[in-house]
Chains A and B, each alone.
Chain A
Amino acid sequence: MLDIREISKRFGYGNGVVTALHDVSFSIAEGEFFTLLGPSGCGKTTLLRLIAGFSAPSGGALVLDGKDIAGMPPNRRPVNTVFQNYALFPHMTVAQNVAFALEAQGRRREEVVPAVDEMLKLVQLVQLKDRKSSELSGGQQQRVALARALVARPRILLLDEPLSALDMKLRKEMQIELKRLQRETGLTFIFVTHDQEEALTMSDRIAVMSGGRVQQIASPRELYDRPANHFVAGFIGESNFLAVQANGGAVSIGTATVTLAGARDGPLTVMIRPEHVTLGTSLPDALNLTATVTQLVFFGTDTHVHLRLPDGTALVARIQNALHGGRSFNEGEAIAVALPAEALRITAKAEEQA
């Protein structure tokens, strides 16, 4: 539905040129909950503003339903935005805020009133419709911003870190609420966030961005299980990185060796998630090592065991705190560590600035 084709964006002139986006290309499907995820300055907000029409790309095309909209002003695009600070009109009531888009389009009052009522019902704000928007709590303002952006039934709804101003509990509620709204309206959502948990729980697909480039586009599961490179592996979830030597299809640390598909000869970096590190036993098809416990950190549902390998590499294992049969470790103790081959991922270096 939306094709982003080799979009680039540069700011500044002469020697001060900063490239915010390097020829970014991907497609978003109808009805998808698509997330742009990355640290601040990765270009995700720049890309969102290009789609909204607040700035023009330096190159490339934005094709929506077969038409290039890159040069179209924002008020002509069938795209609406939920802003990070909500940007509600402070002099208007909740209902007036929601009605704004329809009135700006010159719709008749008979159309506007029922559409506004329906939207307010959808976001559960009917009882507050005559309240000034400045008199609402953060969560309520968030709902108004959503209703205001949805009322004209845009082809795409853009959400610019809309949950970042809310407290933890409210944020969790709104995550579920957003997902519900998206299902009920069947609209395409493009969501921008730097919060990986938010991205993992809500999205159909995630584009991980860094340094103005897309590092990987995949489903949340795929991103976590098969990160394309070092950056993605480090950004999504927790990871251990290990330097290994590859030789004849096998990787080795010291004397420990295991066969690993896709390992090209030479020095490599492999990644393993803390929950896949097995302690206190050796396993077949695994790198079996010995490590020293340096620190134990209790997290409630599980414990993080910080380890150090003989070569000095730090490693973290996550052990679930089971009711029975859980083994306890002591700091300073030397224990057996098994890294199963099926949990090891070879991670390439991230694509960096050209």
Chain B
Amino acid sequence: MILSETSRRWALAMPAVVTIMLFSILPLGVVLFYSFLSPGDFGNVKWILSADGWFSVLFERDIFDDTLMVSDAHLTILGRSVGLSFATTLITLVFGLPTAWFIATRPAAQRGFWLFLITIPFWTNLLVRTIAVQEMIRSEGVFNRVLMALGIIHEPLQMMFTNFAVLLGMAYVFLPLMVLPVYAAIEKFDFRLTEASYDLYASRFYCLRRVIFPLVRPGIIAGSILVFVPALGAYVTPRIMGGGKSMMLGNLIDMQFGQGRNWPLGAALAITLTILVLVALIWYTRLTSGRTERNHG
């Protein structure tokens, strides 16, 4: 049998199409569909169409008088998720940029070693890494003991189960995701350009602003996205470091599928998270595509 050119192309594209349908479009469709059903009594869903799931993302009904209120708890968690993710991105950038710079400016033979050091934690189980951070800051942990031994404090500081704890855990866990793309950008940077800029009367700061930063920027943006997106959906780290006190979106979703027994709400929250991520990605493409400097003369 001879296939026409068009059907031959379709046949060749099938594995990719099937993979995308099966593992990307279909699950997303199921989640979207579930978000419009009613919660079952013991989890799962009842096949009755309802917008209650989406409704509960932002609002809640008072159990006594049925009045409608904006859900403070959900808004707080949503705000905390976005806020902590931004803060995590910022912290990893502040620590990651000099680290990446340091590695990229080592002799080529040594860079592999430094990159290896950065990536070792990356290959370690997430749970193990997070618990290691917990060990540092818990009440009987290393920090508190050292500070007490030095006489700086007399009572252990309560650091666990706060926003600070979640932030510390996430910044630690996501740091390699910032360092690697920034390193890649700096490594490609031609340092003769800094020499040229000094020769043309640029100060160090002027060189940083006009030459280094614009050329390293794509790496910084890529790193920021790589940190921000998984931070927004983080689950394990806020669960361990924040407990019930400093929940993030991922934990809220988990709760709806577990104790909350409200699968439609969980599904709606999951879709909300996906939309937030999409917004971040669109913002990213905007930032990277319109990259021409202002024109002169």
List residues of chain A with CB within 8 A of the CB of B230. Answer: none
List residues of chain A with CB within 8 A of the CB of B211: 89
Q: Could you mark each residue 257-297 of chain B with 1 if its beta carbon is under 8 Å from any beta carbon of chain A, else 0?
A: 00000000000000000000000000000000001010111
> CB distance B198 to A74 under 8 Å?
yes
Indicate whether A96 reaches chain B with its CB closer than 8 angstroms: yes
A108 to chain B, nearest CB (A): 13
Given known A-B contacts A75-B198, A75-B199, A117-B297, A100 and B190 have beta carbons under 8 A apart: no
A75 touches B203 (CB 8 A): yes
Q: Say yes or no for B77: interface residue by CB 8 A criterion.
A: no
Q: Given A81-B199, A100-B200, decide whether A113 and B193 contact each other with a Cβ distance below 8 A.
A: no
A85 to B211, CA, bound (A): 17
- Is there an interface contact between B198 and A93, defined as CB atoms closer than 8 Å? no
B 200-223 to A, binary, CB cutoff 8 A, 1 in contact else 0: 111100100011001100000000
Chain A residue with the shortest CB-CB distance to B195: A54
Say yes or no: A96 contacts B293, CB within 8 Å.
yes
**Cβ of B196 and Cβ of A81 under 8 Å apart?**
yes
Q: Does B192 contact A (CB under 8 A)?
A: yes
Residue B162 is within 8 A (CB to CB) of chain A in the complex = no
Known: A73-B198, A100-B197. A87 touches B192 (CB 8 A): yes
Our pick among B198, B203, B215, B296 for the contact of A91 (Cβ within 8 Å) is B215
Question: Residue A112 at the B interface, CB < 8 A?
Answer: yes
User: How many of B's residues come within 8 Å of A, CB to CB?
Assistant: 22
User: Are B201's CB and A104's CB within 8 A?
Assistant: yes
Complex: A110 Cα to B248 Cα, angstroms:
53
Per the 8 Å Cβ criterion, residues 81-95 of A in contact with B are 81, 83, 85, 87-93, 95
**Residues of the A chain whose Cβ atoms lie less than 8 Å from the Cβ of B291:** 91
Min CB distance A271 to B, Å, is: 40
- On whether the beta carbons of B206 and A104 are closer than 8 Å, the reply is yes
Let me know if A75 and B202 touch, CB within 8 A: yes
The contact of A112 among B190, B193, B296, by CB within 8 Å, is: B296
With beta carbons under 8 angstroms apart, the residue of A87, A116, A149 that contacts B297 is A116
Of listed A54, A81, A83, A89, residue having the most chain B CB within 10 A: A89
Q: Say how far B115's CB is from chain A's closest CB, in angstroms.
A: 25
* Interface flag for A129 (CB, 8 Å): yes
Q: Which residues of A contact B (CB under 8 A)?
A: 52-54, 73-76, 79-81, 83, 85, 87-93, 95-96, 99-101, 103-105, 112-113, 116-117, 129-130, 148-149, 152
* 6 tightest Cβ-Cβ pairs between the two chains A and B: A87-B196, A101-B200, A113-B297, A104-B202, A104-B201, A74-B198
Chosen A-B contacts, 21 in total, with CB atoms closer than 8 Å, are A53-B198, A53-B199, A73-B198, A74-B198, A75-B199, A75-B201, A79-B199, A83-B192, A85-B192, A87-B190, A87-B192, A87-B195, A89-B196, A95-B295, A96-B295, A99-B296, A99-B297, A100-B210, A104-B200, A112-B296, A117-B297
